Amino acid sequence: MSERARGPLPATPRRQGQVDQAYSFRLGDLECAATSTPERYAAMLAGAYGTPLVREAGEPNPEPDLRIHIREDVTPSRVSLQDRLIVRRVAGGCLLESDPVSCLVRTAVTPCEISVVVRDPALREEQLTYHFWILFNRTLLLLDRVILHAAAVVYRNSVSLFVGAKGAGKSTVSIALARAGADVLAEDHLLARRADRCTMVSGCNGRMRVTAKTERHFLNGKLGPETIDVGGVAKKEFPAARFFTTRPHEARSVDRLFFPHVGERFAVGPLSRRDALLRLMDINGHMLRFHDTSDYADFLSRLGDLLTPLPSYDLELSPCLDDLDRLVEFLDRET
């Protein structure tokens, strides 16, 4: 990565009367202790990953995996809003900057510390949330974790990972396998890492989002009428634990990898490592921004490492949801 070593950042001014509030939340299997001034920034960060934010009555968890400090910079400045990311090495860590937000990651201390500075507090909430999401997805790479657009279930004590973009059928596959007795680790996105020659994954939240068709077929219309917009598709959101066994935030070793997509018929076929890597890149690359070509090459290397121990499959889903019984049969044979 083409970065220059620099000294530590200067402290940022704080508005008079500001008081840090302590919070805790989970990013996959990472236990995070956070302080934020004001509260809305901690809520944005936790909300970007769909994980509950807990306000602490006293001090944060004394032994977290990650400490996060979020503050506003009240120094007057003009902030241009562009979709870019700058990465620089500094003493003891790494500095990541988008236009309205900067993030200093100190990996040389235990636990790791992340200092976030919001330079444009007046920016619309959805835009700030987006910059938190992009910065922290890139920060997770420094912590040897990759954010994946994927679902994961534990069936017969074997973990299957389903990687796909919006509309690929991840939620429908998850709920079908949960009905067959699987435990749900994640339904939409998760964190993946290499450990002890295995690919480990952990979910970020315990919610499920389903279309009306999936709800009618698997839940017999047990959800209420309220819907939310998910990428232009009306879905119903509910706690997965309401109907199924869930294990959000639990780290498990993956046994096989599927790339689901909706087609005309149900079919499962093997994928080469090269084809699986190309699909991983295509599905997940948009969730990060890169400093330069070396930075991007490091990301590709990490994706390749995740694939190394795993058999990979193309999974074509038919419009008939009853055909998902054949996926259960496939896993019965494989396990």
Closest CA to 314 of 234, 257, 274: 257
At residue 167, what is the residue type? G
CA neighbor of 172 nearest in space, from 213, 144, 132, 204 = 213
What angle separates helix 293-307 from helix 273-284, to the nearest 10 degrees? 130
Partners of 101 in beta bridges: 118
Q: Supply the pTM of this predicted model.
A: 0.89
**Residue 163 Cα distances to 135, 151, 230, 260, 283, angstroms:** 22, 6, 17, 7, 8
Task: Parse the chain into domains and list their residue ranges.
Answer: 21-143, 148-334
The residues pairing with 210 across neighbouring beta strands, listed in sequence order, are: 236
148-334 in CATH: which number? 3.40.50
Burial label for 224, CB within 10 Å (0-12, 13-18, 19+), is exposed
Q: Which bin fits 167, alpha (ψ -120 to 50), beta or left (φ > 0)?
A: left
- Please give the chain's pLDDT, 335 residues, in tens: 333 333 444 444 444 445 678 999 999 999 999 999 888 999 999 989 989 899 987 665 678 999 999 999 867 665 566 667 888 988 889 999 988 999 999 999 999 999 999 988 888 998 899 999 999 999 999 999 999 999 999 999 999 999 999 889 999 999 999 999 999 999 889 999 999 889 999 998 888 999 888 999 999 878 888 898 887 888 999 999 999 999 989 999 999 999 999 999 999 999 999 999 999 999 998 888 888 888 888 899 999 999 988 999 999 999 999 999 999 999 999 88
Q: Are strands 198-203 and 190-195 parallel, antiparallel or unpaired?
A: antiparallel
Closest CA to 288 of 32, 121, 2, 96: 96
Is there a contact between 83 and 133 (Cβ–Cβ < 8 Å)? Answer: no
Residue 23 contacts residue 31 (beta carbons within 8 Å): no
Are the CB atoms for 37 and 17 separated by under 8 Å?
no
